[in-house]
């Protein structure tokens, strides 16, 4: 028997990286030494003190049972303390914080708590694919908000029809932004909150990159007046502490919204392994020097790649946050063609901008998760490409 996939599964967009993947495999078969700027997965290990805390916690039998619910009180308190010191935001750990099995999990599930079939979900594009997947799985109708350079890669609310806002239940925002590396200011968030209040739209702010910055620390959506009435913010320990493999994140903000997400989760999973939550307590409560050290490393990589690309004639803005460089492809090329040429002629993997949404056409995303000597090697190889 060949199983018949569900209509919802069939709705998912085709895997856009298939052609790149095929070329990558062919290059590896040729024996090419691939340098990958593709996936945004930190290459550096989780800081030692966090690993040690996790090891100790694994030994504790009280952590061997189902975790259940919103997470350890110690974890939610650590989140609450971290929010106060980092953003000056007060969160009640009892009902305004919820642990997540990575923030992707919460971002995917929140739709099921609030979106009915036919409801609109406002989604930035190019963007993280899970906003769209979650909307489709809930039977919602994605409405894409283009992020273009002339608007500072912020959605332009003035061009969204009133009828769309009327039907919208949920709006995703993501700053610092993957893939454009843009940041949002208070005025932008205030305009989003005004719309959210006017049309009763829930705002889900994805702040996975809030700690990866090279300039002033980015603000939190929850710092802005009125945010707590209309939204939640998703955070992840993945990028901040090189913990992508551990699967730990959290949602914070409006208690009723958190409660909806909690109900979905209670019925789908039984919480985050407590040992991992305890490692998270260590990460959030210890000295943040490890984060500062990582920022310095990303900063040097950024400077090496940005100055090198500019020397080679590429057009781009140096990112002020995230570990992505969002570069315009050489003239007359499409994203897919440029990425294919980088791979075929220099064994370099990068993400085609249009793979993350149509407004990404004409761009390539380079993730700075590659050591500096390899960045220099990549630039050396790129200098030999004729565009």
List of residues contacting ligand PLP (CB under 6 A): 40, 102-104, 128, 174, 178, 206, 208, 236, 238-239, 244, 249
State which residue, 165 or 366, has the beta carbon closest to ligand PLP: 366
* Smaller CB separation from ligand PLP, 109 or 169: 109
Peptide bond preceding 176: is omega within 30 degrees of 0, i.e. cis? yes
Query: Which residue from 163, 160, 162 is spatially nearest to 144, judged by alpha carbons?
Result: 160
Q: How far is the CB of 322 from ligand PLP (least distance, A)?
A: 8
Q: How far is the CB of 330 from ligand PLP (least distance, A)?
A: 26
Q: List C-alpha distances in Å: 199 to 34, 230, 249.
A: 49, 11, 29
Q: Which is nearer to ligand PLP, 99 or 238 (CB)?
A: 238
- Min. distance of Cβ 237 from ligand PLP in angstroms? 7
Q: Which is nearer to ligand PLP, 104 or 109 (by Cβ)? A: 104
Minimum CB separation of residue 178 from ligand PLP in Å reads 4
| Cα–Cα distance measured from residue 366 to residue 368, given in angstroms and rounded to the nearest whole number | 6
Question: Smallest distance, Å, CB 127 to ligand PLP?
Answer: 7
Q: What's the closest the beta carbon of residue 327 comes to ligand PLP, in angstroms?
A: 18
Of residues 98 and 104, the one with the C-beta less far from ligand PLP: 104
């Amino acid at each position: 028997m060949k199983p018949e996939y569900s209509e919802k599964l069939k709705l998912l967009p085709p895997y856009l990286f298939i052609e790149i993947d095929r070329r990558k495999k062919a290059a590896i078969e040729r024996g090419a030494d691939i340098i990958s700027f593709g996936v945004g997965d930190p290459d550096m290990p989780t800081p030692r003190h966090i690993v040690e805390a996790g090891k100790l916690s694994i030994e504790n039998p009280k952590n061997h049972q189902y975790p259940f619910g919103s997470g350890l009180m110690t974890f939610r308190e650590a989140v609450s303390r971290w929010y106060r010191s980092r953003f000056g935001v007060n969160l009640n750990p009892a009902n305004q914080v919820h642990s997540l099995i990575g923030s992707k999990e919460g971002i995917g599930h929140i739709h099921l708590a609030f979106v009915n079939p036919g409801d609109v979900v406002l989604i930035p594009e190019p963007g993280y694919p899970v906003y769209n997947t979650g909307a489709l799985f809930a039977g919602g109708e994605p409405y894409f908000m283009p992020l273009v350079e002339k608007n500072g890669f912020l959605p332009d609310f003035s061009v969204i029809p009133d009828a769309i806002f009327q039907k919208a239940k949920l709006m995703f925002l993501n700053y610092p932004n993957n893939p454009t590396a843009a940041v949002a200011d208070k005025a932008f968030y205030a305009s989003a909150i005004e719309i959210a209040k006017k049309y009763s739209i829930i705002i889900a702010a994805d702040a996975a990159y809030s700690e990866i910055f090279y300039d002033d620390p980015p603000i939190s959506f929850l710092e802005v007046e009125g945010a707590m009435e209309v939204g939640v913010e998703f955070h992840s320990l993945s990028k901040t502490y090189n913990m992508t493999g551990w699967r730990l994140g959290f949602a914070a903000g409006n208690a009723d919204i958190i409660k909806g997400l909690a109900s979905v989760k209670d019925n789908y999973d039984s919480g985050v392994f407590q040992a991992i939550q305890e490692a998270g307590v260590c990460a959030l409560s210890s000295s943040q020097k490890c984060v500062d050290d990582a920022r310095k490393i990303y900063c040097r990589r950024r400077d090496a790649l940005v100055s090198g690309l500019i020397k080679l004639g590429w057009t781009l803005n140096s990112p002020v946050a995230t570990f992505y460089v969002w570069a315009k492809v050489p003239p007359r090329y499409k994203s897919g063609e440029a990425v294919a040429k980088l791979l075929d002629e220099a064994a370099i993997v990068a993400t085609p901008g249009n793979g993350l949404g149509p407004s990404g056409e004409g761009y390539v995303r380079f993730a700075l998760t590659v050591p500096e000597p390899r960045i220099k090697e990549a630039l050396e190889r790129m200098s030999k490409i004729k565009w």
